[in-house]
Amino acid sequence: MSDAHARFGKRPAALAAAVMAEVERQAELVRASAGAQAGPQWGLMHKVLLRAKVDPTVIMRLVAARDAEGLADLVRWLRGEEVAEAVVEEPTGPQVDPDVMRAAMKVFRKRLRLARLDAESRLGVGPLSGGKRSEIDAIEAPREHPTAVWHALVRAGRLRTDGKGFYSLAVDDLGDE
Please compute the mean of the pLDDT values over residues 123-130 and round it to a whole number: 62
- Per the CB < 8 A criterion, the answer to whether 100 and 108 are in contact is no
Q: What is the pLDDT of residue 3?
A: 58
Q: What is the pLDDT of residue 1?
A: 46
Please compute the mean of the pLDDT values over residues 42-47 and round it to a whole number: 89
Which of 7, 67, 8, 73 lies closest to 42, judged by CA? 67
- Per the CB < 8 A criterion, the answer to whether 26 and 41 are in contact is yes
Position with higher pLDDT, 27 vs 124: 27
Q: What is the pLDDT of residue 97?
A: 93
Which of 7, 164, 151 lies closest to 90, judged by CA? 151
Query: pTM of the entire structure?
Result: 0.48
Return the percentage of the chain with pLDDT > 70, whole number.
Answer: 84
- Per the CB < 8 A criterion, the answer to whether 143 and 91 are in contact is no
Q: What is the pLDDT of residue 87?
A: 57
Which of 39, 86, 84, 80 lies closest to 63, judged by CA? 39
Segment 58-114, tens digit of pLDDT: 888 888 888 888 888 888 888 888 877 765 555 667 789 999 999 999 999 999 999
Q: Considering only CA atoms, give the Rg of the chain.
A: 24
Q: What is the pLDDT of residue 140?
A: 94
Q: What is the pLDDT of residue 124?
A: 65
Please compute the mean of the pLDDT values over residues 141-160 and round it to a whole number: 92
